[in-house]
Amino acid sequence: MLFLLAWKNIWRNKKRSLIILTAIALGLGCGLFASGAMYGMWDSTINAAINRDLSHIQIHSKKFKKENLIENYIPQGTELKHQIEKINGVKAVAQRIIINGMAASPTSSLGVYIKGIIPDEEKQVTSVASSIKEGKYFEGVGRNPIVIGLELAKKLDLKLHSKIVLSFQGLDGNIVYAAFRVAGLFETESSLFDKSNVFIRQQDLIPLIGAEPITHEIAVRLTTVQVMDQVLNKLRTMYKNLEVETWQQLAPELSVSYETLNFELNIFLGIILFALLFGITNTMLMSVMERIREFGVLMAVGMKRTRIFMLILIETIFLSITGGIIGMVLGASSIWIIAQKGINLSLFSQGLSSYGISSHLFPVLPLEFYPILFLMIVITAMVSAFYPAVKAVRLNPASAIRIY
C-alpha cells in the first residue's frame, strides 16, 4: 500500500517532479558519458601498448631483466617458442633479439633499442606492420632493410631508402657498425616508442653479432585476456628459471592507472550525485510542507510516525531511481552510439602521442560499473529523504490539522 501511495504522491505535482527527474537524468547521463570517455581513453592506451610491443606475456632470462646485455639471452629460445605455441589459449609467439645501440645518419645520432625480429612472426603479435605510414614492411630494399618510426626519421633527417648506420656491441665485446636502408616508416600512438625503437631482420643481425640464433625476449599473444592468468601460471611452472611477466608487470604504471581509474570515476559520479542531493532534498521538503495538514490528519487517525517516515523515504527512492534509470539509459545509449565511429582527436594527436594515447577515442564503460552507480543512487535518495522525513514525523497532529 505504501509503495502505491508513494508513487501516486510523486505525480501530485507533475511539473516539479519532471524538473527534478530531468536534472537527475541529465546529470547522470552526462556524467556517465564523461566517465565512458575517460575509461575509453585509458582502455585504448592499454590496448595500444599491448598491440604495439608489450603483447600479453613476455619471457626473458632473469639476468636480462637485471642487466639488458646482449649475452643475457634465453637458452634454446627457438625450442621454447615451439613449446609455447602448443599451449591452449596462445594465439601467436614471436622471438626477439634486443640490443642497446646507436642509430646514426649524416646529420645526427640517437640511442635506440635495436630489435631483431622474424617479420612474419612479429606481424602476428604486434601492430607495427599495420602502422606503416610510408614504404613497406621489410620490402622494397634488397639488402639490410630496416623499419623505423617517423619520429626517429625526423630526428635523424631520414627518408625512405635513406642509409642509417647502427652501432652496437657484439657477443665478443667488440663494437659492430652496420649500414641499413630504410624500407618502411611506422607511426604508433606513442612518439617515445617511435623514436627509440628500430626493427631489423634476425637473418641480417645474427651474422653481425657473431653467434648462432639467440633470443632475448619471447612475446606471447593470447586468444583472449581472460586466459592470461591460466597461461601465465602454466608458463611459470614450465620455465621456473626464466622471468615470465604479464603486461601489468611490464608496464606497472599503466596497470596502476587502470585500477585507479575505477575509483576516480566513482568519486566523479559521487560528486554529481552529491550536487543532485540538494535538489532532491529541496523537492521533497517542498512536498512535505505542502502536505502538513494531510500528515496531521493521518497521524490523528492513528497512522504511525514510522510509516510516514517510510512513505517519504519510498517517495524519494522512487523519484531518484526513476531519474537514475533514465540517466543510465541516456548515458549508455550515448556511449554506444558514439563508440560506433569514435571521437577524432587528431587535432591533439601530437600532445596525446607523448603519453601513448590514441588520437581516436572510443568511449566504453564496463557493465559492472552500473550496479555500483545504482547503489550510489539509492544511498543518495536515502540521505536526501532524511531531513524532509524527520520534518514530517515531528509534526504535532493538532497544530498540523489547522494549517491550510
Q: Could you read off the pLDDT of 346-376 as tens digits, one per residue?
A: 666 666 666 566 667 788 888 888 888 889 8
Cell digits of residue 223: 586468444
Which of 50-54, 193-197, 294-298 is predicted most confidently? Answer: 193-197
**Cα–Cα dist 246/59, whole Å:** 9
pLDDT, averaged across the chain: 87
d(CA 308, CA 392): 7
| In 126-251, alpha helices (H) | 150-156, 191-196, 202-209, 228-238, 247-250
- Give the residue carrying C-alpha cell 564503460: 365
From the list 200, 215, 233, the residue with the least C-alpha distance to 80 is 215
The whole-angstrom separation of Cα 373 and Cα 185 is 45
Q: Which of 91, 71, 97, 95 is nearest to 81 (CA)?
A: 95
How many CB atoms are located within 10 Å of the residue 145 CB? 23
* The predicted structure's pLDDT at residue 295: 83
What pLDDT does 350 receive?
Answer: 65
| Assigned C-alpha cell, 344 | 577524432
The answer to whether the beta carbons of residues 100 and 68 sit under 8 Å apart is yes
Domain architecture of the chain: domains with CATH: 2-50+254-401 (no CATH), 75-215 (2.40.70)
Q: Strands 242-246 and 132-135: what pairing?
A: unpaired
Compute the distance between CA of residue 134 and CA of residue 184 in angstroms, rounded to an integer.
6
Find the range with the poorest average confidence among 26-35, 149-158, 286-295: 286-295
Residue-wise pLDDT for 158-204, tens only, equals 999 899 999 998 888 888 999 999 999 998 888 888 899 999 999 99
pLDDT band at 11, cuts 50/70/90? confident
d(CA 343, CA 323): 27
Sign of CA dihedral 386, 389, 391, 393: negative
pLDDT at 150: 92
pLDDT of residue 290 exceeding 90, the answer is no
Sign for the CA dihedral angle at 267, 269, 275, 278 comes to negative
The distance from CA 220 to its chain's CA centroid, rounded to whole angstroms, is 20
Contacts of 79 (CB under 8 A, 6+ apart): none
Which grid cell is 339?
A: 563508440
For the segment 297-307, the average pLDDT, to the nearest whole number, is: 85
Tell me, what amino acid is at 196? S
Q: What angle do CA 355, 358, 361 make, to 5 degrees?
A: 125
Residue 215 sits at the vertex; the CA angle it makes with 105 and 356, to the nearest 5 degrees, is 55
Q: How far is CA 283 from CA 71, 160, 388, in A?
A: 73, 68, 9
Say whether pTM exceeds 0.85. Answer: no
Three cell numbers at 34? 564523461
d(CA 251, CA 257): 10
Q: Where are the beta strands (DSSP E) in 19-144?
A: 57-61, 90-104, 109-117, 132-135
- State mean pLDDT over 220-237: 91
Residue 47 pLDDT:
82
Least confident of 44-48, 254-258, 310-314: 254-258
Q: Is 293 helix (H, G, I), strand (E, B) or coil?
A: helix
CA-CA-CA-CA torsion sign (320, 325, 329, 331): positive
| Residue 339 contacts residue 315 (beta carbons within 8 Å) | no
